[in-house]
Chain A
Amino acid sequence: MGTALTYTEAELVLGLKSRSEKHFGYLYDHYSPALFGIALKVINDENVAGDVLQEIFLKIWRSIERYDTDKGRLFTWMVNIARNTAIDTLRSKAHKQGQKVQELSSNSMGTEQFAVHQAVDQIGLTKVIEQLNKEQRIIIDLAYYKGCTQDEISKILDIPLGTVKTRMRNAIIQLRTILKQL
């Protein structure tokens, strides 16, 4: 994150737990692109992903009392909320039915709302995508962003069930190697 932090994570959590709207604004400004990225990767629909992002931040705000600093970093906790919320939406019938309506009405929604969309670190992402092979990218996306099980991935990629975990391990080792070079 390029922006200079004005709050430490502990200060941020404390501020949120004391219901500070200023701290919430700071949290949103710093983490909404990452969490929107998750929602967008899961949902593949900007309108729905926007609604999902709103839900994600409301969940964070409403359940911050339950966040325990000893059990992990704040970002890990938020990423879990984001992924679960987005995948729940993806699996819900309402989303599947709504998708068609969204496609029809997206033209009349105005474009300036989405004009600001941009990858935060386009160069980094491009490098990763270039260097991870397609199969490695797909296996991470299926497991992490689509919530597929080992069984489902075995069928989708047409590889033996026992190979799924090995393939995933290799993908992540490769990913980490690329990330270290950035």
Chain B
Amino acid sequence: MGASRYISSGLIEAYVSRLASPQEEQELEMAIDQYPEIAIAVEDCRLGMEHYIMLQSVTPPTVVKQNLIRIIADEEAGKLIGEATEETQIIEDTPAGKMYVSSSWRWAAAAAILLLLGSLLLNFIYFSRYSDYKVKYEALLTTNNTLASEQNVYRTRIEEMEHSLEIVKDPSMQMVKMPGTKSFPSLLATVYWNKASKEVFLMANNLPQPATGKQYQLWAIVNGKPVDMGVFDIGTDTAAILRKMKSVDNADMFAITLENKGGSPVPTMDQMYVAGKAS
């Protein structure tokens, strides 16, 4: 585009009134550098625009100038102070100030991290201890239960033994020892016979555990004839406990045979384990 065409295009007026787009501005600025007559035309137009601007002048409030004078004086004073003490102030003060701020944050961060780590460690320790104590507690609980049940067992046994003792203490009680027969010489059982009440109690001092399907049977020999006194089993602590058998008025002898489970109406003589006279 030639210089005259720029002048008549309206671009100069658009440029001066700030209407031109950035591309148009760029284009015209290149043309200004290239053509002196365009530079003159732009400047003429601009003077007109500035004249128009000047016509619209309004005296501003006096407070604006007062503020400005104060702000500028403060700034300049600040600069002078800054220049005078720059080396000491800026090098010592400013970085130290920054260091103070950043180091305090660093301390806070370090403290927070330490607290967190400490907390995690304590959590771990206390959880381990908790688990440990839980196991121990459960073990103690089991032991306690075991002890309690054992205590019940012992109490029952003691009660039984006390009961047995009560029976034996009775003055009308007669003790009949039944040693092992020729076939079983090491065996022993005892009958406690209360002649007043006719009650019969048995203590299996030493009798072997019978084979399965077999049971011991106590017999009383009355006037030469065997009378069934009941069957019994052998427990773990039978040796110390009296068990009540059938009552009998009169008996010459007591004996124990091994019979089929449930007992037999007549004793199997070759299976007689122990026997003793009532005297």
Cβ of B59 and Cβ of A165 under 8 Å apart?
no
- Those of A98-156 within 8 Å (CB) of chain B: 113-114, 116-121, 124-125, 128, 140, 143-144, 147, 149-150, 153
* Residues of chain A lying within 8 A (CB to CB) of residue B56: 34, 37-38, 41, 119, 125
- Those of A65-87 within 8 Å (CB) of chain B: 75-76, 79, 83
- Those of A144-172 within 8 Å (CB) of chain B: 144, 147, 149-150, 153, 164-166, 168-169, 171-172
Task: Decide if the interface of chain B is mainly helix, strand, loop or mixed.
Answer: helix
Chain A, interface size: which category?
35 or more
Given A147-B18, A168-B19, are A50 and B50 also a contact pair (CB < 8 Å)?
no
Scan B44-87; emit 1 where CB is below 8 A from any A CB, else 0. 11101111111111111111110111011100100000000000
The segment from B7-15, B142-150, B229-237 that touches chain A is B7-15
10 tightest CB-CB pairs across the interface, nearest first?
A169-B10, A33-B57, A36-B60, A120-B57, A143-B19, A165-B10, A176-B48, A37-B56, A172-B13, A169-B13
Cβ of B52 and Cβ of A140 under 8 Å apart?
yes
Given A19-B76, A150-B21, A165-B10, are A32 and B48 also a contact pair (CB < 8 Å)?
no
* Residues of chain A lying within 8 A (CB to CB) of residue B63: 50, 113
The smallest C-beta distance from B51 to any residue of chain A, in angstroms, reads 5
> A175 in the interface, Cβ–Cβ < 8 Å?
yes
Cβ of A37 and Cβ of B53 under 8 Å apart?
yes
Name B's A-contacting residues (CB within 8 A).
9-14, 16-19, 21, 44-46, 48-65, 67-69, 71-73, 76
Task: Decide if the interface of chain A is mainly helix, strand, loop or mixed.
Answer: helix
A164 and B16 alpha carbons, distance in the complex (Å):
14
Cβ of A33 and Cβ of B59 under 8 Å apart?
yes
Cβ of A121 and Cβ of B54 under 8 Å apart?
yes
Cβ of B19 and Cβ of A21 under 8 Å apart?
no
A40 and B72 alpha carbons, distance in the complex (Å):
23
Name A's B-contacting residues (CB within 8 A).
1, 19, 21, 24-25, 28-29, 32-34, 36-38, 40-41, 46, 49-50, 53-54, 57-58, 61, 75-76, 79, 83, 113-114, 116-121, 124-125, 128, 140, 143-144, 147, 149-150, 153, 164-166, 168-169, 171-173, 175-176, 179
